[in-house]
Chain A
Amino acid sequence: MALVDVYAGPQQRIADVGDYFALLKPRVMSLVIFTGLAGIVVAPGSIHLLSAFTALLCIAVAAGASGALNMAYDSDIDAVMARTATRPIPMGYVTREEALTFGWWLSVASVTIMGLFINLLAAGLLAFTIFFYVVVYTLWLKRATAQNIVIGGLSGALPPAIGWAAVTGHLSLAPLVLVAITFLWTPPHFWALALFRSDDYARAGVPMMPVVAGKTSTRRQIFAYTLLLLPVGLAPAALGFAGPLYLAATGAMSAWFLYGATRVLFERDAVKEPAARKLFFISIAYLFVLFAALIAERLVGISPFGAWL
């Protein structure tokens, strides 16, 4: 037998750069970058453009690292869910160990750079965000309770506070209001997804609300969280750190969100769940428009209501 034949077994496709990029959950990362940018832009005071870029890069890399670690620890769940079965680990392109190494190195790098070049509060919040998403949400809550995304939503909500801390070096009510908006937005957003993917979650044994409490209860809870979210969404204008553009945009989006949540509440098609699919889309648009309005007001120079007094 020729020596080369010894190595000529069936070949396995190795991971491309794109597979590693997919580990970073780019769509989630883009939302985190956006809300983090809002925190940087809205915060009082000034920051060098390169420092702002570095802070945003650290937030983005940390979000990506959390995504990679989540995919590594949840690869057993991902493999049995239709939505996630084509991710790089279930497909066999990247091993779980490679994803863990990739994720933890990026986590350490992002927190270290944030601490070295921005400030320790921003770095500490960034480390807490990674810890909360990976350890508290992924390793513990996700498989343990139907409240998984309610509590775990805190990690996805923190980027505006990190952006704010990067500029000011401290926290105040305003960034916490921005955190509260994303925190209260998370349940209606993910439960809308869970309504039309409930079979997937049930097959994977993930205790999402529709699997554990049923669809009727989930619809009521989506509506309840929507009622909680909408006034908090208007709070930046009421508290004076947002202006008329934000108020108009939030007013319109709140009405759309409420309409979508009401349609979900009275949905009759429990198989296709068209209202939940629509609400999932509305929720993404809602968060995007709110933070876009905040950023636009600062960039265009529209004064917040607080400056009118």
Chain B
Amino acid sequence: MDDREIELHNARARKRRNLAVGLVLAGMVLLFFLMTIVRLGGHVFE
């Protein structure tokens, strides 16, 4: 790979990494939310 190709690859890699981190964090928030409901059962709003 020449410098130009590496630069393009790095830009794409950064974008994909940011997206992956964002999706994982969103997934964790969703998991915490849902597991809280599961753990508290019907008493979630009490």
Contacts and interface: CB of A to CB of B under 8 A. Distances in A.
Interface in A4-37: 8, 10-17, 20
Contacts of A48: 38
**Range for the number of chain A residues in contact with chain B:** 10 to 19
A16 B35 contact: no
A17 B16 contact: yes
Given A50-B34, A54-B31, A14 B13 contact: yes
B17 A51 contact: no
Nearest to B19: A17
A17 B17 CA distance: 6
A184 B41 CA distance: 41
B29 to A, nearest CB: 12
Interface in B11-46: 12-14, 16-17, 20, 31, 34-35, 38-39
A50 B13 contact: no
A231 B13 CA distance: 50
Contact of A11 (B7, B17, B31, B39): B7
Interface in A51-97: 51, 54, 57
A113 B27 CA distance: 13
Contact of B38 (A15, A20, A50): A50
Contact of A10 (B3, B13, B34, B38): B3
Nearest to B34: A50
Contact of B13 (A16, A54, A117): A16
A179 B1 CA distance: 47
A206 to B, nearest CB: 32
Nearest to B9: A13
Interface of B: 1, 3, 6-7, 9-10, 12-14, 16-17, 20, 31, 34-35, 38-39
Given A11-B10, A13-B9, 19 more contacts: A8-B3, A10-B3, A11-B3, A11-B6, A13-B1, A13-B6, A14-B13, A14-B14, A15-B13, A16-B9, A16-B13, A16-B16, A17-B20, A20-B20, A50-B35, A51-B38, A54-B35, A113-B31, A117-B38
Closest CB pairs A-B (n = 4): A11-B6, A16-B13, A117-B35, A17-B20
